[in-house]
Chains A and B, each alone.
Chain A
Amino acid sequence: MQPCSREMQAMNSLLSPTQQIPLQDLQPNGNSGTHQAQIHNPQFDPTSSHDDFLDQMLSTLPSCSWSDLKSPWDPPKSDETPPSNHDNNVGFHYDEILASKLRQHQINGGGGGTTAAMKMMMQQQMMLPGRPIAAAGGGGLTMPLHNDIVDGSSFKSPNQQGGEGSVQALYNGFGAGSLHGTNNQSPNQPQHFHHPQGGNMQTQSFGATAGTVMNQSQASGSTTGGAPAQPKQRVRARRGQATDPHSIAERLRRERIAERMKALQELVPNANKTDKASMLDEIIDYVKFLQLQVKVLSMSRLGGAAAVAPLVADMPSEGGDCVQTTAGGGGSLQRNSNGNQPSANNDSLTVTEHQVAKLMEEDMGSAMQYLQGKGLCLMPISLATAISTATCHSRNPMINKGSSSNHPLLQSNGDGPSSPSMSVLTVQSATMGNGGLDGSAKDAASVSKP
């Protein structure tokens, strides 16, 4: 029941007779906090070094037992005798003495105890057997003891040990509840408690909980709220981060997608769009455009000479239209030269084609503008077929035959009066064709009348 009896005895032996404490009264429970018999504190050296000294000491301690130590005793600073609210354990007189001394030291700055001595004493305390808390709390608890001892020079090391044992007993009972004790203290004392506690906590992590608690208490001025808040703080995720595995996975996925989008942005020109949807649109258009370019180039490679005279229709169509209609080759690119170039000059057309291809690489819009400037445009074969049949001009049906359509269209285009009508028709059918070919409204909107 009293594991610290040994220490108590030793302590008792050294204490003044008046301070003899019946061992049986010792209770290593939380009541320890309440035990505050009259305490003889013959050796009080009120100094005024205050908190900085204490912080120094405390920073070396591996525990935050401060609060525990402090909590049971809340006599006012000026009071050298601990309040009698802790009368349960008479045997803890010397504990109280020590505690009060500690308090005194805290209040007064603790005099000039050497940290080395403190550490030594701490270690001694730490070595006390059977006290898991000793490591954690003993250090802190012993600190005041050391203070007392060093300053008071009245206690010898055995006393310290004994005191430490008792203090540990006290401390054992404290647990988290000891924190509450701090609230009971006078306003002056909490400051001291919190201050050293804060110093402790910052350097130590007493169970990692007390530290946070202490810090919290410092901030809030109340340690009670710290203990329950600690677990909450632990569990509650930081803003923007979730602890839920699903949301974490979701976040990872989103991040990866954002990464890819950024990479794509560099590849695709006109990638200044911040909107994901528009960015995707841009990417899609670009892919279509590149595929179209491959087709165009493969066409032009057919000798670049008389074999293929590129035909350009009047309808500026997005590359997507042509691609849509291809579906594996159905729609090759056709270019119908308009009245601007009455003679189907293959070379010039080829040059134009290359120009267009070059422009298309940079900017589809500029390519279209270039074509329009020349009175040309791109058009899918099916559309050209529809146009040719619709205009009732006698020409060979253009069914996936790139070059065959050249001549008939050229012939028809050569007609001055017919070209405007055809162009109009082209636009109209293009509008319809667009709707039929590609359901997206934007393509229809892009059709422009020459």
Chain B
Amino acid sequence: MPTYEVHYFSYPGRGDLLRMLLEVGGASYTNVFFDWGKTWPAAKETMAFGVMPKLAVVESDGSRKDLFESYAIVGYLAESLDLMPGPSAFERAEALSILSALSELEDKVRPSLWLRTLDERKAGHATYCTETVPKYLKYQERFVRGDWYFGDKLTVADLKLYQLYLWYEDMYSSYNQNPFKVLAADFPKLNKIIATLEKGKAGEYARERRNFGKDRWVAKDWRFGRK
């Protein structure tokens, strides 16, 4: 059995889902943290595309191989840790299609994070929560095929949903504005997946090993702080 290293910054970000997969999949892993100002600049050019996260796969004989790009890492870990709906290419592709659609929704909030004024940020997030999120989640709600996205089996698709929920909690919980909660009546299946995950290994990871004390949401400013 290999062990893994997640090379990333000390906040959830694009490392969150990878870490969650490793935890839920029962894999042995360590975090290798980088500091944006101090250690990252020298490390950047050692990364295949100049970005993180990096997954290092360390085999029992000590040999190592590196993988980059969240989408590729998540697909690889899901396949390796039996968190795909099934072994065939089509089944794996269906799970990845959920990831892709949810990632697109996730990306739609990013411009609001960087708007210059507080009022612009508040308005951007408000539009996102009330208009953009329901437009995407209605298709997700429709897709769910059982207790989980893919019937009886917990897969990476469910974990991606939970990762998105947690990010919304980071940003919106202080205003009681997490769209999953506000729109709970519209998205019962999605909320049931989240509730079930909260009670298990994924929830325990989220409470104990997801946050590292850095880069918390500053509620009055509607932005993440780097402290």
A associates with B: no
